Structure 1
Amino acid sequence: MSTLEDIAGKAKAGTLYGIGVGPGDARYMTLRAAALVRSVDVLAYFAKTGRQGNARRIVSPLVGSGRRELRFEYPVTDEIPSGHPDYEAQIAAFYRQTAEVLEAEVRGHSSVGLLAEGDPFFYGSFMHMWRRLAPIVPVEVVPGVTGMSGCWTRANAPITWGDDILTVLPGTLDEASLTHRLAASDAAVIMKIGRNLAKVRRAVHAAGLIERAIYVERGTMPDERIVPLAEMDDVEGTYFAMVIIPGQGRRL
């Protein structure tokens, strides 16, 4: 009988892997991702200070004792607006230093798996490593189930029908931009909710979409929460939350 590694392949020395670990439930990881988590020499991941790191938590069932790990703690997350010069300076320096550490590991012939929530190429920190390292060391990107896919599935809400056009928006946009783009959308996903929840709710209401909007918090995770946005009276959401607005296109 074939093993997981026989089917999905093992890690190669001297390679950096950007491993998409899916939306939160380890059972939604791909075979390739699971096999690499088990076979890389070094597991690397990003985390907020004082937190386990969501990507690391997702893969916990696959990680045995004694594994070598690299934890990279963000110097700042949502304490400063992302467009602020101090935020950009601190994060840019952090990514530069992180890339240097990863490069040294790979050039030392280690296989390194850098974990990424959802898909590595979708609003992920891994992209900043890929941009710096792909031109100079071997890098393989392993796609993952996106957080939004996990959320609309758990909400039992097909997102696009027929010729519906899906718009994906960051909740960090200003309210007027959110409203304008939502009003022109058949279906939408609004990410990066957090402290932007009240603004997002106003924009969705102004665009005439409040009755279709669904708030999903920690989708596929043990403590997930799914409620109509119209019923939300919270002042803030969480980092792992999004609003989905299903389309109403052609249904046969």
Structure 2
Amino acid sequence: MTTLSSHSDTRSGTIYGVGLGPGSQDLMSVRADRLIRGATHVAFFRKKGRRGHARTIVEGMLVPDAVELPMEYPVTTEIPFDDPRYNAWLGSFYEHQVAQLAEIAGAGHDVAVLCEGDPFFYGSFMHLYTRLQGKVPVEVVPGITGMSAAWTATGRPITWGDDVLTVLTATQPEAMLTERIAHTDALVVMKIGRHLDKLRRALKSADREEEAWLIEYASMEQQRVVPLAEVGKRVPYFSILVIHGNGRRP
């Protein structure tokens, strides 16, 4: 006997964490480009009152009737990371976004979540990914990281031969930064912002200040590559510091 399909027969949509790369549309993967241009629902993180960098990157790529789902952080740098309220507010925020995305996917719609760089590299999407497991299908589309664009912008290889590359965030304690900077061949430092002075002191203590380069807005129109010694007291949010390795080579 033939019966009419019920709501429960609706195919669940998929949540795609789409890596956009460092900022230039022509540095996206073919798959990322295809998913974004065909997406009926597009979600992206942003600070309240801002358009959002991820959304800016895909300008001109979305279909005219795409449903846009901005996800506005309840807090960014207004309070310290170690303030108990920080994790509580963000945890609640991510739970709310997961519920919304799961509901949309449950109705049979795919959702492209726009992710700067690579979704699994210091990104917000990973907090959605872990919470979405077992609820709806989730797929991740990798992207070129901002650090890759940054060291490429310097025109020099970041590692040679057996060089060890260390990736740090400037949010770490100064003593830890100093130790790790002193004991690596090549270095990338992200999340600099208001931690610039601390990072400078750590580099000086490790006797590597003169080796450091700062790249602002890697791969974007306003890209700037300068030795750290020429940098002022403040740097843009999209800034990455690199020290090149000088290891074994033929």
Q: Which TM-score bucket, shorter chain as reference?
A: over 0.9
1:175 aligns with: 174
1:88-131 superposed Cα distances (whole Å, 9 cap, x missing partner): 11111111101111110110100100011000000110000000
1:244 aligns with: 242
Q: Which stretches in structure 1 are left out of the alignment for 5+ residues?
A: 1-11
1:163-219 superposed Cα distances (whole Å, 9 cap, x missing partner): 001000011001111000110111110000111111111111211111211111111
Deviation at 1:34, TM superposition (A): 0.4
1:190 aligns with: 189
Deviation at 1:61, TM superposition (A): 3.1
CA distance in 1 between counterparts of 2:49 and 2:132 reads 28
- Is contact 1:195-1:238 (8 Å) kept? no
Counting only pairs closer than 5 Å after superposition, residues 87-236 of structure 1 correspond to structure 2 as 87-234=86-233, 236=234
Q: Normalised by the size of structure 2, how large is the TM-score?
A: 0.93
CA distance in 2 between counterparts of 1:226 and 1:201 reads 17
CA distance in 2 between counterparts of 1:64 and 1:221 reads 24
Secondary structure at the aligned position of 1:115 is classed as: strand
1:124-180 superposed Cα distances (whole Å, 9 cap, x missing partner): 100000000022211110000001001111121211100001000011001111000
AA partner of residue 247 (structure 1) = G
CA distance in 2 between counterparts of 1:240 and 1:37 reads 23
AA partner of residue 238 (structure 2) = F
CA distance in 1 between counterparts of 2:161 and 2:81 reads 36
AA partner of residue 49 (structure 1) = K
AA partner of residue 57 (structure 1) = T
- In percent, how many aligned pairs have the same letter? 49
Counting only pairs closer than 5 Å after superposition, residues 8-157 of structure 1 correspond to structure 2 as 14-157=13-156
- Is contact 1:14-1:138 (8 Å) kept? yes
Structure 1 stretches (4+) deviating beyond 4 angstroms?
none
- Is contact 1:196-1:237 (8 Å) kept? no
Give aligned pairs, total: 240
Deviation at 1:13, TM superposition (A): 6.2
